[in-house]
Structure 1
Amino acid sequence: METLVANYKLLKKVKDAKFEVDDLHHYGLYLQIGIRDFQFCVIDNRDNRCLLYEDFAFENVKTVNARLQVVQDLFENHHLLMAGFWSTIKLSIKSHKFALVPQPVFSKEGLVDYLSFNTPFNPRYEEVYFYKHISTDAVNVFSADKKLIDWVRELYNQKEVIVVHQGSAFIEGILKYNDHSGEKSMFCLVDKGILHVVITSDKKLHYYNQFAVRKSADYLKYIMLVFKEMKLSQKKSKVLFWGGLTPQSPHIQELKKYIRDISFGSRPSYLSFSFVFDEIPDHKGFDVFNIFLCD
């Protein structure tokens, strides 16, 4: 029997004064679960207004069973998450086990083969899921802890729970983002030691991957690797960042020595945010907010 010594803590909470518990049936619940963290937001589906955002960190979580226990404890002690009468419910999973498959050759019968070609996974504990992108001709095939997904679906058994990959939420958000040009541009999400990289031009997806960053020099190494592979220009190509870095981060200052056009992204323009969200930098929460787009 596994001894679970695990906990969680709330890192950030932002709540719009217009949030009404009696209106949950008009609200969408958008959940994102990682190995060591959990975020969610609530969006009013009537006017696309973001009303609530919360960010939690898990502590002392070493196994998937321990994570499941912490998620269950967190939900059971939360005054909103156990409610079942949301308008829509979508769950984003953080996972490095994924494969993007061109939609014309995609087949549900090939899910395990697609994933196995890219990464090992344990069918004893993991299930293979897929998400068909709406803004690009690709299907994201990914694996996740089956017990976790089943528990969330059972909790909200009166509603369909749409399960997506974090990378898909980021990609959909980028392809709807306003700052695009005809030239290839790079869009990066930095999230707890993982660097997500998307390349687009004319709102068409050319590249997506994620890299484990263990030291500061890895940011420069991986970004320059993709620059070379995708034939981007260090003088002309745009690079936008979201997530855990700031304009003052040493990593950004180092990158600016090699890449001229580096900036930070903003929140999704198709959502509205009240002034209370000014507590969160504009480049934070982009992946969570864009779960909204994934149908």
Structure 2
Amino acid sequence: MTKTATSNFKLIKRIKAGSFDESKLPSYSLCLQIGIRDFQFCVVNKQTGTCLVMEDYKLENIKTINTRLEVIKEIVNKHSFIGSNLWDNIKVSFKTHKFSLVPGSHFLPEASSDYLAVNSEIKTKIEEVYYYKHIASSAVNIFACDKKVISWSKERYPNKSLQVIHQGSALIEGVLKYDDHSKEKTMFTYFDRGILHIMVSQKNQLLYYNQFAVRKSEDYLKYIMLVFKEIGLSPKTSSLVVWGLLKNDAPQIELLKKYIRNISFGTKPNFLKFPSEFEDIADHRYFDLYSIFLCE
């Protein structure tokens, strides 16, 4: 697919299945994902569990929240169907480093801001605090997201109750569904644009989740080895599964292979069906975007 661009965004990938029917939006789920560097969405037929559409936009020259919102508005306003208010449901996932996971047994909704304030500075004038109670684990994810983006989303889709989640929650739900009750501790990673997500699970239980800012190949190795040590994993015997926006021969992977024996790329999630048009996308890409569908 040829990349297309304006001054502030570039279409990286667009896939639309032949079975997508714009007249059937009321039976489709729209999953949006908003980051500092990108904007993505996918469309899932709820009745068949089939992913029908996926689009990935890279945002460029974005300096402020206002500029990012204006670019997202431009993409949506020019799009033939994403701005429709006919969807069965709409889920919005935010990529943000301002989050905190707490055990469900200790969680009090009225104290959400307090949990988050322990490790993040919340700018109350421009940020709102949300929380998501995980389905596949007892964890609650408390996170901050842009007030203006949320406000625009509610105005854009006035008749819908938006499900607001954190990117990490989508990944956690996806991993625990994908893990399939492995008896051994396994590390799962997602290589995003400038961010490394690390999860560890065992017997379908989440043991660890965190995200790290990364700039070079050595950063990926450093954080993965740190978590290996912290969780008690062995570079010689433990498994490392990799998803993300990278090529099979990426320098990060080649470096990791020198230190970790059992590395494999993750596959497309088995909780969704993918038409033949999606064969154009490497199996290890967009696992976070697809997993938004699991969050209820």
Shorter-normalised TM-score: what interval? over 0.9
Aligned residue in 2 for 1:266? 267
Deviates more, 1:172-181 or 1:214-223: 172-181
Aligned residue in 1 for 2:166? 165
AA aligned to 1:102 is: P
Aligned residue in 2 for 1:107? 108
RMSD of aligned Cα (Å): 1.2
Determine helix, strand or coil for the equivalent of 2:29: strand
Aligned residue in 1 for 2:79? 78
Find the aligned partners of 2:84 and 2:48 in 1 and give their Cα distance.
21
Q: Give the TM-score taking structure 2 as reference length.
A: 0.96
Following superposition, the deviation at residue 6 of structure 1 comes to: 5.7
User: Does the aligned pair in 1 maintain the 2:188–2:198 contact within 8 Å?
Assistant: yes
Aligned residue in 1 for 2:242? 241
Aligned residue in 1 for 2:25? 24
Find the aligned partners of 2:238 and 2:119 in 1 and give their Cα distance.
29
Following superposition, the deviation at residue 247 of structure 1 comes to: 2.6
Find the aligned partners of 1:227 and 1:246 in 2 and give their Cα distance.
23
Q: Within 5 A, what are the aligned runs for 1:111-260?
A: 111-178=112-179, 180-260=181-261
AA aligned to 1:186 is: M
Following superposition, the deviation at residue 179 of structure 1 comes to: 5.4
Number of aligned positions between the proteins: 291
Following superposition, the deviation at residue 7 of structure 1 comes to: 2.1
Q: After superposition, what is the alpha-carbon deviation per residue over 1:188-211, rounded to whole angstroms, capped at 9, x for unaligned? A: 001001000000000100000000
Q: Give the TM-score taking structure 1 as reference length.
A: 0.96
Aligned residue in 2 for 1:96? 97
Find the aligned partners of 1:38 and 1:286 in 2 and give their Cα distance.
15
Structure 1 segments unaligned to the other structure (5+ residues): none
Find the aligned partners of 1:253 and 1:74 in 2 and give their Cα distance.
36
Find the aligned partners of 2:248 and 2:84 in 1 and give their Cα distance.
39
User: Does the aligned pair in 1 maintain the 2:180–2:204 contact within 8 Å?
Assistant: no
Identical residues among aligned pairs (%): 52
Deviates more, 1:162-171 or 1:252-261: 252-261
Structure 2 segments unaligned to the other structure (5+ residues): 1-5
User: Does the aligned pair in 1 maintain the 2:217–2:255 contact within 8 Å?
Assistant: no
Following superposition, the deviation at residue 124 of structure 1 comes to: 1.0
Q: After superposition, what is the alpha-carbon deviation per residue over 1:150-200, rounded to whole angstroms, capped at 9, x for unaligned? A: 110121111111000000000000000045521111000010010000000
Q: 1:270 to 1:77 in 2, by over 3 A?
A: same
Q: After superposition, what is the alpha-carbon deviation per residue over 1:244-286, rounded to whole angstroms, capped at 9, x for unaligned? A: 2233112111111111100000111011111110110000111
AA aligned to 2:250 is: S
User: Does the aligned pair in 2 maintain the 1:14–1:53 contact within 8 Å?
Assistant: yes
Aligned residue in 2 for 1:59? 60
User: Does the aligned pair in 2 maintain the 1:6–1:66 contact within 8 Å?
Assistant: no
Find runs of 4+ consecutive structure 1 residues off by over 3 angstroms.
none
AA aligned to 2:187 is: M
User: Does the aligned pair in 1 maintain the 2:100–2:143 contact within 8 Å?
Assistant: yes
Determine helix, strand or coil for the equivalent of 1:73: helix
User: Does the aligned pair in 2 maintain the 1:6–1:58 contact within 8 Å?
Assistant: no
User: Does the aligned pair in 2 maintain the 1:6–1:61 contact within 8 Å?
Assistant: no
Aligned residue in 1 for 2:286? 285
Aligned residue in 1 for 2:39? 38
Determine helix, strand or coil for the equivalent of 2:118: helix
Determine helix, strand or coil for the equivalent of 1:75: helix
AA aligned to 2:147 is: K
User: Does the aligned pair in 1 maintain the 2:101–2:139 contact within 8 Å?
Assistant: yes
Find the aligned partners of 1:213 and 1:93 in 2 and give their Cα distance.
18
User: Does the aligned pair in 1 maintain the 2:179–2:204 contact within 8 Å?
Assistant: no
Deviates more, 1:172-181 or 1:195-204: 172-181
